[in-house]
Amino acid sequence: MSRYMFYTYVLRSARDNKLYIGSTSDLVTRKKFHDQGRVQSTKNRRPLVLIYYEACLTKEKAEKREKYFKTGFGRGFLKNRI
């Protein structure tokens, strides 16, 4: 088992109110990259607000959760959660 946590996170764009879903091993740094415009897919959607995240024990579980959130069922879960 890894000593590190992996995160699945959801950002909301204040510009277009749409969600961005991703995963990372360093949530703080990744959020800074989004805020600085260093992530191509959110560069023109700033400012972004972190509205939800989950911690996972493995990278695979975080990526699986990210994939789930991008489905209709996953988006429904997020809608009820946030």
- Enter the tokens of residue 18: 């749409």
The half-sphere exposure of 50 on its side-chain side, counting CA atoms within 13 A, is 16
Full residue range of the structural domain in which residue 17 is found: 6-81
Q: For position 11, which CATH number holds?
A: 3.40.1440.10
What DSSP element (H or E) covers 50? strand 48-56
Q: Lowest-confidence range among 14-18, 32-36, 47-51, 78-82? A: 78-82
Whole-model pTM above 0.85? yes
The tally of domains found in the chain comes to: 1
pLDDT at 14 over 90: yes
Residue type, 32: K
Average pLDDT value for residue range 4-23 = 96
The pLDDT assigned to 9 comes to 98
pLDDT class for 2, splitting at 50, 70, 90? low
The answer to whether position 10 is within a domain reads: yes
* Separation between Cα atoms, residue 17 and residue 60, nearest integer Å: 28
- Backbone torsions φ then ψ of 49, nearest 5 degrees: -120, 130
Residue type, 81: R
Residue type, 80: N
- Enter the tokens of residue 13: 């764009």
The answer to whether position 71 is within a domain reads: yes
The answer to whether position 13 is within a domain reads: yes
